[in-house]
Amino acid sequence: MSTSKTITFTLFITITLLASCNASAKAKTQPLFPAILIFGDSTVDTGNNNYPSQTIFRAKHVPYGIDLPSHSPNGRFSNGKIFSDIIATKLNIKQFVPPFLQPNLTDQEIVTGVCFASAGAGYDDSTSLTTQAIRVSEQPNMFKSYIARLKSIVGDKKAMKIINKALVVVSAGPNDFILNYYDVPSWRRVYPSISDYQDFVLNRLNSFVRELYSLGCRKILVGGLPPMGCLPIQMTAQFRNVLRFCLEQENRDSVLYNQKLQKLLPQTEASLTGSKILYSNVYDPMMEMIQNPRKYGFKETTRGCCGTGFLETSFMCNAYSPMCQNRSEFLFFDSIHPSEATYNYIGNVLDTKIRGWLKA
The set of catalytic residues is: 42, 334, 337
φ/ψ of residue 71, rounded to 5? 55, 30
By C-alpha distance, which of 322, 345, 310, 132 is closest to 232?
310
The sign one gets for the Cα dihedral 345, 350, 355, 356 is positive
Distance between CA atoms of 52 and 60, rounded to whole angstroms?
13
CA 356 to mean position of chain CA atoms: 19
- Cβ neighbors of 260 (< 8 A, separation 6 or more) are 198, 199, 202
Alpha-helix runs per DSSP H in the chain: 3-29, 83-90, 107-112, 125-131, 139-154, 156-165, 174-176, 185-190, 194-214, 232-237, 248-271, 283-291, 340-359
- What are the beta bridge partners of residue 12? none
- Cβ neighbors of 321 (< 8 A, separation 6 or more) are 63, 306, 307, 312
Distance between CA atoms of 246 and 257, rounded to whole angstroms?
18
φ/ψ of residue 16, rounded to 5? -65, -45
Query: Are 41 and 121 a contacting pair, CB within 8 Å?
Result: yes
b/e string for 181-192 if b means 16 or more Cβ within 10 A? bbeeeebeeeee
